[in-house]
Structure 1
Amino acid sequence: MSCIFKQIQDPISFTYTYIIGDSKTKEVAIIDSVNENYTNYISIIQNNHWTLKYLIETHTHADHITAIKKIKKIFPNTKVLLSNKSLAQYEFTKVQDKDIFYVGDIEFMFFETPGHTTDSISVLINKNRLLTGDCLFIGSCGRTDFQNGNNKDMFNSLNKILLLDDDVLVYPGHDYNNRYVSNIQEEKITNKVLRLKKFEEFEAELNSWKLPPPKKIQESVPANIVGGID
């Protein structure tokens, strides 16, 4: 079994979009699309003669607008998979903890990993690659100070991820330092927030960040609730 795996970074929001699938059946999924890049995704799929089976969002994003609406116009039979906690106002299939979907023979196992948002999910691909969205970053974790973020949920979600095998590769939803991949073992050793084993210390660290709101939050969240813009 050969896995299609493409990681595409948006240069503005530093979002990682993933195109993942089965090279034998030519079925793929797009995870965390970005509106400005939708023509690139479509070209990649059409040029390779792939079939787009699923569009997946790891959460309701606040820093960019999804391309779901535009992609669905080109591939109308594609299904959207979102957390069962999602408040999206368009048609989608709900996923919950330990649900498994297949793209060809490639296994997608979903984990509920709230904290950054209530609808945050992570996706384990074939038991060896974890897409962590805005939960676990390389060397850090997602922020919890907007969109019903919750420090306790984040603490629990990160510890849930750490139960996976050490050699599982970690692919984040963002990176601001041109890092593309890590693994569970490396994060256990080097990630500053994962070294904080007491919740009180973890919460104090996250509360000390005092980050400004995402620049596009006022336009991104309403747009993403309806699947993007026309």
Structure 2
Amino acid sequence: MNIFALTGAGVSAESGLGTFRDKDGLWTRFDPMKLATPEAFVHNPDEVHAFYNLRRQNLLSAEPNAAHWALARLETGLAERGGSLFLCTQNIDDLHERAGSRQVIHMHGELLKARCTACGGIMPWREDLGTEVLCPSCRRSGGMRPHVVWFGEMPLEMDAIYDALLGADLFVSIGTSGSVYPAAGFVSEARGHGIRTCEINLEPSDNARQFDEGRYGPAGEAVPAWVEQVLTS
């Protein structure tokens, strides 16, 4: 079996990383237009850097939870059977990798990487960023930014993502709001090609009615239970 898994903020919530659109999510407390757009970075880079520096520090102190470990086990278990797991995440954290997942596509970028707007270089980055930081590649200052996809920017790896989605036997959406496109449209793409669909979430998402199956509860409980069923069926 080839499974395409899309993960969102709900997978990492139990690791202490904030969600975005829930009633207590980040975008209810912060204005994304002031912190997560290219225009915000141009007009107020210090404020943008401060926000992402805090998120980076929070991530560095977080640990994978049972949902991350279960998806890593699923990847190994499917490979042993001649199948595959394509793990596409909207999350910018590295908790899937720390749990042992080897093939992860970050469609919204990675918080522990930085990108230079001057030369385009992308590099691992665990320290704070600021306008005074020099790019290690071109030695210019003022252009280093988090390697994350902001509002108004195109998600990454979309060709590879759609190829994998249309080659899957099962599409499963885990811990997502179902309101952020293009990811929210993956379920309709899958259904249009006759691919079975499943949602695993704390509660039904905005597009829950489009899924063939829904499993609801904390990710740290629901995902391991689902993985166990997949690997023993």
Same fold, TM exceeding 0.5? no
Q: Greater CA radius of gyration, 1 or 2?
A: 2
TM-score normalized by the length of structure 2 = 0.30
Q: Which of the pair is proportionally richer in helix?
A: 2
Q: Which has the higher contact order (CA 8 A, sep 6+)?
A: 2
Q: Which of the pair is proportionally richer in strand?
A: 1
TM-score normalized by the length of structure 1 = 0.30
